[in-house]
Amino acid sequence: MSDKDALDQADIETLAVRAGQLRTHEGEHGEPIFTTSSYVFESAAQAAARFAGDEPGNVYSRYTNPTVRVFEKRIAALEVGEAAVATASGMSAILSTFMALLSAGDHVVSSRSIFGTTSVLYSKFMRKFGVEVSQVVLTDYAAWEAAITPQTKLLFAETPSNPTNDIADIARLAELAKANNCLLVIDNCFCSPALQQPLLLGADIVIHSATKYLDGQGRCLGGAVVGRAEHMDEILGFVRTCGPTMSAFNAWVFLKGLETLSLRMAKHSENAMQLASWLEAHPAVEHVFYCGLPSHPGHALAVRQQKDFGGVLSFRVKGDRDQAWKVIDATRIMSLTANLGDAKTTIVHPATTTHGRLDDEQKAAAGITENLIRIAVGLESVGDLKRDLERGLGAT
């Protein structure tokens, strides 16, 4: 049995460490970083054949790079997709998908509770190119259905949602997409393939901000799109032409990150579960949003659809914005930053940062109250994290 056949049968933990592995004639064990912009041909005839696409091989790193290729193969294997395209950031993964698969006059239905910059992409830039986006409540399937028009080409959702952990039934959205000749695109950033594999549930395309859990240590920006070869060819065409390419160095960092993905996601989930349960019982806390808690409306679906519940939770303190800010400012271990998916726990006040662009009505619809705090739970000792929060909570 060759290495390749062995990996065809492999579990996700093995794929995360080994899928797509490349070894040059030097016999290196770690993946090599190809820091080169272009590639040398052996003859004029070979150059002509490479440019014409008659011979496979490298031409220029905006087109292909061996280190980036390993990352693409590995993330495709983890998401169980035919192919993947790496991009310079999560936003360029979303942009490249839209630019490659949509035309002026097309329509998109998207969940409302999505990454803030994705909303800006819809309202400021996609509209400029004649693509309209309707946004609906993630879990309101009647609203999804009602928003679909004959022009609708894509359904786009993030589940679990940020920051309240609402859970959409991916298989149900996939059925709706299929019945209406649309593609279902899932931003799988919060779960990573270690916890949720949307393509296996019927989604057509998965998007990642590799910046978050795929790296896992807050080192660099990157993104990926995974799906069927016919769609990935179109998206690759956009990336090659327009240039939101992943760098070889960043691809190498993500390969190192992926090696520990399953371990990290298990620990992020375990820490978040313990912190959420502790917060739910805390007298200074009004409500906790974490899909791992039986009290969460999406809990049963998350149990069915996800392997675990992930690292992001949010909670409302008793009181107003002052109380929330007091708790945040009293922390000494957690980092006050909007990023997530890092070994370091981060804490943020969504109403005035990540979701500050929303108007009052949109905030109310998304559950973003002034007393809401989001925590992306890292890999520190959960006892220390509780003590860090207790400083501020005890004082409220």
Contact residues for ligand PLP, defined by CB under 6 A: 89-91, 115, 158, 187, 189, 209, 211-212, 221, 223
348: β partners = 374
Angle (CA) 162-164-166 rounded to 5° is 90
Alpha helices in the chain (DSSP H): 3-8, 12-18, 44-52, 66-78, 90-101, 116-120, 141-147, 170-179, 192-195, 229-242, 248-259, 261-280, 299-305, 321-330, 360-366, 382-395
Neighbours of 47 (CB within 10 A): 15
Structural tokens at position 261: 């993905």
385 touches 276 (CB < 8 A): no
Q: Which residue's CB is nearer to ligand PLP, number 301 or number 340?
A: 340
CB of 331 to ligand PLP, least distance (A): 21
Shortest CB 250 distance to ligand PLP, Å: 11
Contact of 156 with 187, CB cutoff 8 Å? yes
Task: Judge whether 177 and 155 are in contact, CB under 8 Å.
Answer: yes
Minimum separation from the CB atom of position 318 to ligand PLP (A): 28
Using the minimum distance from each CB to ligand PLP, give the nearer residue, 69 or 208.
208
Q: How near is the Cβ of 385 to ligand PLP at its closest, in Å?
A: 21
Q: Which is nearer to ligand PLP, 58 or 339 (CB)?
A: 339
Question: Which CB sits closer to ligand PLP, 163 or 392?
Answer: 163
* Cβ proximity to ligand PLP, 174 vs 312, nearer residue: 312
Rounded CA separation 369/286 (Å): 12
Q: Which of 355, 353, 349 is nearest to 375 (CA)?
A: 349
CB 157, min distance to ligand PLP, A: 11
Comparison of 212 and 268: residue with beta carbon closer to ligand PLP: 212
Which residue's beta carbon is nearest to the bound ligand PLP?
90
Report in angstroms how near the CB of residue 186 gets to ligand PLP at its nearest: 10
